Structure 1
Amino acid sequence: MDTIYAAATPPGRSGVAVVRISGPKAKAAAKALCGNVPTSRGVRKLRDESGGVLDEALVLNFEGAASFTGEPVVELQLHGSPAILKSVLAELSKLPDLRSAEAGEFTRRALDNGKLDLAQVEGLADLIDAETEAQRLQALRVFEGGLSAKAEAWRADLIRAIALLEATIDFADEEVPTDVFPEVNDLINRTREDIAREVEGSFVAERVKEGFEVAIVGRPNVGKSTLLNRLAGRDAAITSEIAGTTRDVIEVQMDLKGIPVTFIDTAGVRDTDDQIEKLGVERAVSRAKHADLRVFLKENKDLLEIQVQADDIIRRPKADLSPGDGLGVSGQTGEGLDELVDEIVAVFEARVSSVGVAIKERHRVALLSCDSQLSDVISKIALDEPVDLICEELRAAVRSVDMIVGHVDVEDLLGEIFSSFCIGK
């Protein structure tokens, strides 16, 4: 396998710049630069091929089992000068059997060498991209193996179910339970219940990653754009006393107490003969209906063609002009703004609490496939179909779980059978 190298920190000036070298020639490459590679870590002078000093760096030496990639790794922690980084990379490029790493290649080697599974790789990617606390926590759960642990538990239960059924076929004369179907049904139902919770939570997980959408809805000139500007802390939308000023959807992304939220300022909802404004109203209604939450700025008499749904928030607009009941909000003065934000956060925190560790559409597709196959297993058992057909359907369910994190083979089944029933004595 090639030995690869690359900068592991972004370009530009910084306190430290890290260069990572991974592969069988990693230690030899480091030795060419510093002469004496430390057993674990140490400060060394790095020199070019003519003996000139490039930098004084902290050199970290990782054996394969202890490294991120699962193979020998040396990291050079340089002073964060672009010139130093460039010169060190140039010297590495001159060494034989080394090449510059491709995008994501270090993580790919970690996957290939069993240091990470596919779900953890996805969690790592999301962790690097996380911009809010909710995104960080969600990605960290997956990167630390939360989904992997669940998948392993599901697979263990399904393997157990297959082992029980296989035992009735292959070891009929041995000491096995006479009726394994109650336990098989329990294992399958437990797995399906857990999968159903993960599938439901996966939709919310996608919103945590992409950001929840909150549509500000109301008739023209009720202060929607002013409220958006107050929330954003800047003039994101044009405000005017002229009704119909907002003709298109305006979006502002925010971090509300660790939760990613995109506020949407929509055109005022009303009947109009202006074709451009009418198009804006149609877009506003469509976008508001598909938002995760709607904030209605309306008086009791206002009639809007958008139905209020559970969790939606209603506020009386322009509270600075008619204060009193505590249910108003004003983008002009900020009155009621903190309470509105707290209520929005409370709604999304309640939803985020249902998030599991299946966070991507790929995970959901695999889980739904597994659930469908397990449903077929339950039907086949009820119809008293041949056990070998039931086992094949269970194996298909296991393969669906495998799509998330790993694989299973016949040795797992034999191991379960021998340990459970003392077969082969």
Structure 2
Amino acid sequence: MVRFCIRSCSDRPSDLYRSTVFAVSSGHGVSGVAVIRVTGPETSEAVKLMTKSDNLPKPRYASLRKIYQPSTGDLVDKGLILWFPGPNSFTGEDLAEFQVHGGSAVVEGILTSLSEIDGLYPAMAGDFTRRAFENEKLDLTEVEGLADLIHAQTEAQRKQALRQMDGHLSQLYKIWSKTLLKSVADIEATIDFSEDVIEDGILTNVKNSVNKLAKEVRNHLEDGRRGEKLRSGVNVVIAGPPNVGKSSLLNLLCQRPAAIVSPLEGTTRDVVETAVNIGGYPVLFSDTAGIRQSIDPVEKEGIKRAKSKISAADFVLIVHDLSKYKHVDIDGLLESPLRMLNTNVDESTSADFDENIEYLMILNKADLITNNLAVQMKEAFNTKGVNACIISCETGDGIEDFINILSQKMKDICGDPVVGNPSITQARHRFHLREALNSLEIYLRMAHDGFEDHDLVLGAEELRIALRELGRITGNIGTEDILDVIFRDFCIGK
């Protein structure tokens, strides 16, 4: 094993992506079966040496073979070998999989044996997928979709990632690129050839085409960041006065004691975060300090952090103690819950909230009031058109209805990942799309003002810039500076 580690650190070739690499692809730890991948020009020779055979397995068929250590001839294991000759493989080059028993001694024996073969080197994170990109098996959006699929933790995340990996997002951007390319070609023809050769109205057609494309890109950008929220998780803040059951609600949602619960007010001082799957959607809940007037410097800092979290939230659960309302008087709660939170503190911890932040009123401790009063409160809220849930964290009453309402809210925020055009999932996509839209809008302003000969050349350049920005999303143009950032998030062996 020492020899294997030394080679992995010091003997890597300068042109790594022309070499042959290997790695465990099935994850680490003891298992029934381990999968070890090899890809590159020396793969076929490695298979022959490891099996003591001059004959390669039948392509894309599982072949049961004895696997040996080349240097000693000792039997290491008996397992399945799958042979995928390039270019018809995941990486686009020769690739083999060794499916062996998943014990640590067996896996170490296979890796050590492979490291002894000249020309073979341990893979780095993302090596296999990067080779697939380099060999045009995947573009960058499909690569990112694959990475998201590997890291998906909820059903909705899986669906979005699978759709992107299948090329739906890439196809949309390629259609837009094709439209732009045609427009650039028409303008170049207008510039380079005499008017006798060019059809009348060609610039009008280009303007109409660019205007239609600009609207499509603008609509694509105005999506409420649905895809990014689904990929990263929806930020939901649990806020309210002290001792109303915020921490109890968090513990109930994540089914574990994530936050300390105490009858003493001001127990929660810092933000407590935990990720939960709500109806197939990823939600990052933040339990915050109770909001009130305070002279305690530590508590004031906690309140300040709570206000900051609320300001950046995608959705807020405003929790109140229902037992403190002995009669049906909810005007104070309904006037403006977010503004009420904002004014219920001193100046040092105040913050301006966006009144457009969506929220849900949670009236907790229903077990401490009569059923009749709870029904009246519910009807009063419904009359006012306010979303509110009456629950008891102590008994669990109302929790099922609350979860159903919250699940629907998360679906509204993230959207259905399999319906309509695919969503933007990465901040870099949004940046390049904004840059592309800016260039399209500059061209349209030029076209509206009327082109002079020199203006038309500048207009063509703006469309070329937009085309390059779209190309940077899929990886067709100028991607070298971002490749390392994208592929480093992959595990070794993928």
Letter in 2 for 1:281: I
Match of 1:362 among 424, 428, 437: 428
Match of 1:374 among 440, 457, 461: 440
* 2:405 match: 343
Asked if 1:72 is matched to 2:75, the reply is no
* 2:469 match: 400
CA drift of 1:408 comes to: 7.3
Match of 2:123 among 96, 101, 109: 101
CA contact (8 A) 1:202 1:360 kept: no
* 2:275 match: 253
Match of 1:288 among 297, 307, 310: 310
Deviations 1:265-301 (A, max 9, x none): 2111111222222222222122122211111123634
* 2:37 match: 20
Task: Report the 3-state secondary structure (helix = DSSP H, G, I; strand = E; otherwise coil) of the residue aligned with 1:65.
Answer: coil
Higher mean C-alpha displacement, 179-188 vs 147-156: 179-188
Letter in 2 for 1:401: L
CA drift of 1:250 comes to: 1.5
Task: Report the 3-state secondary structure (helix = DSSP H, G, I; strand = E; otherwise coil) of the residue aligned with 2:367.
Answer: coil
Asked if 1:48 is matched to 2:69, the reply is yes
Higher mean C-alpha displacement, 64-73 vs 365-374: 64-73
Task: Report the 3-state secondary structure (helix = DSSP H, G, I; strand = E; otherwise coil) of the residue aligned with 1:262.
Answer: strand
Deviations 1:347-398 (A, max 9, x none): 1201222763321111111000000000010011112233222111111110
CA contact (8 A) 1:146 1:357 kept: no
Paired residues for 1:23-34 under 5 Å: 23-34=40-51
* 2:360 match: 313
Task: Report the 3-state secondary structure (helix = DSSP H, G, I; strand = E; otherwise coil) of the residue aligned with 2:56.
Answer: coil
Paired residues for 1:19-418 under 5 Å: 19-34=36-51, 35=53, 36-40=55-59, 41=61, 42-49=63-70, 50-172=72-194, 176-201=198-223, 203-298=225-320, 300=330, 301=332, 303-305=340-342, 309=356, 311-322=358-369, 323=371, 324-325=374-375, 326=378, 327-353=389-415, 356-385=422-451, 386-407=455-476
From the superposition, tell whether residues 198 and 101 of structure 1 become closer, same or farther in structure 2 (CA, over 3 Å). same
* 2:483 match: none
Q: Could you tell me the percent identity over the aligned residues? A: 37
CA distance in 1, matches of 2:402, 2:179: 46
* C-alpha RMSD of the superposition: 2.0
CA drift of 1:402 comes to: 0.9
CA distance in 1, matches of 2:199, 2:173: 27
Q: Which has the higher contact order (CA 8 A, sep 6+)?
A: 2
From the superposition, tell whether residues 142 and 297 of structure 1 become closer, same or farther in structure 2 (CA, over 3 Å). same
CA drift of 1:61 comes to: 1.0
CA distance in 1, matches of 2:308, 2:475: 41
Task: Report the 3-state secondary structure (helix = DSSP H, G, I; strand = E; otherwise coil) of the residue aligned with 1:182.
Answer: helix
CA distance in 1, matches of 2:201, 2:282: 52
Letter in 1 for 2:364: P
Gap runs ≥5 in structure 1: 410-425
Higher mean C-alpha displacement, 282-291 vs 368-377: 282-291
From the superposition, tell whether residues 174 and 78 of structure 1 become closer, same or farther in structure 2 (CA, over 3 Å). farther
CA distance in 1, matches of 2:306, 2:223: 28
Task: Report the 3-state secondary structure (helix = DSSP H, G, I; strand = E; otherwise coil) of the residue aligned with 2:81.
Answer: strand
Letter in 1 for 2:199: P
Letter in 2 for 1:92: L
Match of 1:10 among 24, 27, 40: 27
From the superposition, tell whether residues 173 and 195 of structure 1 become closer, same or farther in structure 2 (CA, over 3 Å). closer
* 2:481 match: none
CA distance in 1, matches of 2:475, 2:125: 23
Letter in 1 for 2:211: N
Gap runs ≥5 in structure 2: 1-17, 334-339, 344-352, 379-388, 479-494
CA distance in 1, matches of 2:433, 2:168: 15
CA distance in 2, matches of 1:164, 1:39: 51
CA distance in 2, matches of 1:239, 1:4: 52
CA distance in 2, matches of 1:82, 1:252: 33
